[in-house]
Chain A
Amino acid sequence: MSTIGSDTVEQFVAADTGGRSTTIWWRAGAVTALLALLAALPLVASDYWLNAVLIPFLIMSLTALGLNLLMGYAGQASLGTGGFMLVGTYATYNLLLRLPELPLPVSLLLGGIISGLVGVIAGLPSLRIKGFYLVASTLATQFLLEWLFNQYGWFSNYSTSSSISAPRLAILGRDLSSPAGRYLLTLATVAVVTAIAVRLVRSQTGRTWMAIRDMDTAAAVIGIPVASGKLKAFFVSSLVIGIAGALWGFAYLGTVDARSFNLDRSFQVMFAIIIGGMGSIVGNYLGAAFMILLPILLDHVGTRLLGGAIDAGQLENFQRAFFGALIIWFLIKEPRGLAALLSQAAARLAPLIERRSRHLRGGRA
């Protein structure tokens, strides 16, 4: 039994797949409504909300999704996330720079594929090493990639300081450099990738991954292709993370250097999926919200309530300690993450909604 991915939200996945047709329609409607709402947000949201809150939140969700495919579904933990984000960013940058005739979505996808291929190489040790030693070995990927992009000027087109800045973002001649444009680009990418990921984890590939996660050795014994399954997971995961990295660099920050995606970023993403819920698609969004939105919220609340009354440095240190404590408390209280909390809440609410809708239908008849 793998020690890594055992705390997954099994019943949540089960609930996802085993719905009746009415619930599926209900769900599809809800998702469409949510997407429409999100797409309409730039009409009301300020630059601050788009640039500093929503864009990073969406990209973090996408990164978490990438890692979750590998760790939550296939049971292979990795701390190389930052490295794959770097590959995605630098690959997309060079594609846009050197092959300007390619449209942006193609460059993004190709950048992701390059990152996926690097992921396959980085995943090779997983065929022999397991558990926590594998986590440690992915650190080699992280540090090697950080070094590579800092060291060789070619990747950054020989800029003075080996940092790269966002090329002009445009689709079909339409400029996307405004906050709303970058937000919509991010939202569209996240929506498409999420839809594909949902299909993928319910396919044969997804079932293979879960078999590997739950019973590595047993899966091999009964003839499940463990090695190719693991490498496939590394490929898909790194592909998604690579796309997320490119978005982080170009749609969010605007400038990237080799240290933008360091080990701290890898930790941050891992926190997001553990807190959100391993093996849950919704969990990625919840976990990203926890990691990106909560600190901002804490900061605003802290400054509002105590700003001026307490020394600024003390306040900041206190926030850091408080956030750490919150993480620990959460890990202790809810081992299966926010997604499990949500599905429990949904399970409790479902009969109520059911009764209410039956009541409504009855009323109409």
Chain B
Amino acid sequence: MSFFIETLVGGLLAGVMYSLVAIGFVLVFKASGVFNFAQGSMVLCAALTFVTLRDKEIPFWLAAVITLAIMVAIAILIERVVLRPLVNRPQITLFMATLGLSFVIEGLAQIAMGASVHELDLGIIDTPVKFGDVQVSQFDLVAAGTAAVLVAALSIFFSRTRTGIALRAIADDPQAALSIGIRLQSLWQIVWGVAGFVSLVAGLLWGARQGVQFALTLVVLKALPVLIIGGFTSIAGAIVGGLIVGASDSLAEIYLGNLLGGSVSTWFSYVLAVAFLLVRPAGLFGEAPIERI
């Protein structure tokens, strides 16, 4: 039993890490209707910038602030140069454009900062903590805590601030929002800036987990089923989806893997996601579009 719980808890905590990446997707999708595949490259870019600054003995907080400034600048630049000219294009075109964008970011980031592998030490001790028979990773607990804080902050941002409310207005009805004088473009930039911030947080935590290297871009592959399950437009969905994906992947790898022979987690969450979609075609928390003929 303790083995089951341990696997489950390990999976849930890993799921939080997926959620962190997924939140970045949700923000951008909510505001611009783009499934931003370049989010993975942005995570890499953030982590790489931070580590490069730290290697030059720049203090932690200063490095974080500089990286944040760079990420926000990149995000705003993407919005202006790439997405604005593509407005009103089919979703799949936008998606492919962000894929092209990921080549650009990866290429330029490595030209500027090199391709070597870096260690990223956040000073979090990573020895297991025991709760009875069950071992839990301390680092994963910290990561989960960070995600919780991030989600809380974002929820407050979206429900309490003027910007947040304006954003929701735009998501609900762009025409009406524009007619009451909400400035769409500056709002887009704010959201993209926040997405840049989220990719910094995700980059730091993932970077600390696996080292800062090119493979950071691959974290998007796990964020996708999270989004399908949770819906593309809901931050709460991203968290719940992440927990579901993390836990089911972990349990499937152990229990289904014994039957089918391992590596089940490469597809299990995707198949689960399709099953969810068949029941709820817009994800658990997503809004179904209204079809007009």
Contact = CB atoms under 8 A, between A and B. Distances in A.
B261 interface: yes
Interface of A: 3-7, 77, 125, 128-133, 135-137, 139-140, 143-144, 146-147, 150-152, 215, 217-218, 221, 263, 267, 270-271, 274, 313-314, 317-328, 331-332, 335
Contacts, number: 144
Nearest to B114: A313
27 contacts: A3-B90, A3-B91, A4-B90, A4-B91, A4-B92, A7-B90, A128-B281, A130-B281, A136-B224, A140-B270, A144-B271, A146-B266, A151-B260, A151-B261, A151-B262, A271-B99, A271-B100, A314-B111, A317-B110, A318-B107, A320-B103, A320-B106, A322-B107, A324-B101, A327-B99, A328-B101, A332-B86
A324 B96 contact: no
Given A133-B282, A274-B93, A318 B274 contact: no
Given A331-B89, A331-B97, 5 more contacts: A133-B283, A270-B92, A313-B115, A317-B110, A327-B96
Contacts of A314: 111
B111 A318 contact: yes
Interface in B47-87: 82, 85-86
B47 to A, nearest CB: 17
Contacts of B282: 133
A147 B277 contact: no
B288 to A, nearest CB: 10
A324 B270 contact: no
A132 B104 contact: no
Which of A125, A140, A270, A331 neighbours the largest number of chain B CB atoms within 10 Å of its CB?
A: A140
Given A151-B261, A317-B111, A332-B85, A133 B271 contact: no
Interface of B: 35, 82, 85-86, 89-93, 95-97, 99-104, 106-108, 110-111, 115, 221, 224-225, 227-228, 232, 260-264, 266-267, 270-271, 273-274, 277-278, 281-283, 289, 291, 293
B96 A331 contact: yes
Given A137-B277, A140-B270, A325 B263 contact: no
Contact of B293 (A139, A218, A320, A327): A218
Given A320-B103, A331-B86, A331-B100, A133 B270 contact: no
A327 B291 CA distance: 31
Contacts of A77: 92
A137 B260 contact: no
Contacts of A133: 228, 277, 281-283
A318 B109 CA distance: 10
A324 B224 contact: no
B96 A274 contact: yes
Nearest to A270: B96
B100 A324 contact: yes
A335 B214 CA distance: 31
A258 B90 CA distance: 32
B89 A335 contact: yes
Given A7-B90, A132-B92, A321-B107, A140 B273 contact: yes
Nearest to A331: B97
B93 A335 contact: yes
A128 B289 CA distance: 13
A116 B139 CA distance: 47
